[in-house]
Copies of this chain bind each other. A is one copy, B any other.
């Protein structure tokens, strides 16, 4: 059985990841030692270490020789992601997500601001627009293009309060492996000013990004307009 044909190191990775995220091991505490993990899961040390390396890589733990594996606070965003208030932290209750454009399947825009492969072009893309609102103030407007490649029931899913990336990971086993991004500070035009509720000409942070995933020819393309009047974009890498 062994649920699925995932390699053993990956199964252990997923188990530990789940435990860290759910709070079984709290921040700053030590994971069981490598030898303990070997004994509990009936694996050898290289296999256990392989799983731990992946956790280090993804920012879930921090290893110290002679000490152990220290659990870190989980969210560790990729590149740039989370929104943080300039002075105080945002409690989750005040963060809303508004879907300006429900996911719909369309042909890729032409021209497109990133180069895409023939395979991506052939299958069309899922298009969606979202607006994140903090304390009633719109701050984050993102336009997303995702290849329509083997994503059953995608357009009918609920995106309101779930992260797009978390949904791709949990439902379709799609993980972000890296990416490239371009950043500018622009003056808001009429349209962007209206969406973000700022004056025309006010500065907005503009991001174009391409995220590549563990699936070949599956890249996520986003354009982001960020109202940094009262907030900043915060990222760990």
The residues of A with any CB-CB pair to B shorter than 8 Å are 46, 53, 57, 59, 78-80, 84, 86, 178-187, 202-206, 226, 228, 232-237
**Chain A binding surface SS class:** strand
User: What are some 25 contacts across the A-B interface (CB < 8 A)?
Assistant: A53-B53, A59-B178, A78-B237, A79-B79, A79-B237, A178-B236, A179-B237, A181-B235, A182-B233, A182-B234, A183-B205, A183-B226, A183-B228, A183-B232, A183-B233, A183-B235, A184-B205, A184-B228, A184-B232, A184-B233, A185-B203, A185-B204, A185-B226, A186-B203, A237-B237
* Number of copies of chain A assembled together: 2
Name, among A79, A185, A236, the residue most crowded by chain B CB atoms within 10 Å (CB to CB): A185
Please determine whether A237 and B183 come into contact, CB atoms closer than 8 angstroms: no
CB contacts (< 8 Å) of A53 on chain B: these are 53
Please determine whether A185 and B182 come into contact, CB atoms closer than 8 angstroms: no
Please determine whether A205 and B234 come into contact, CB atoms closer than 8 angstroms: no
Name, among A184, A202, A205, A234, the residue most crowded by chain B CB atoms within 10 Å (CB to CB): A184
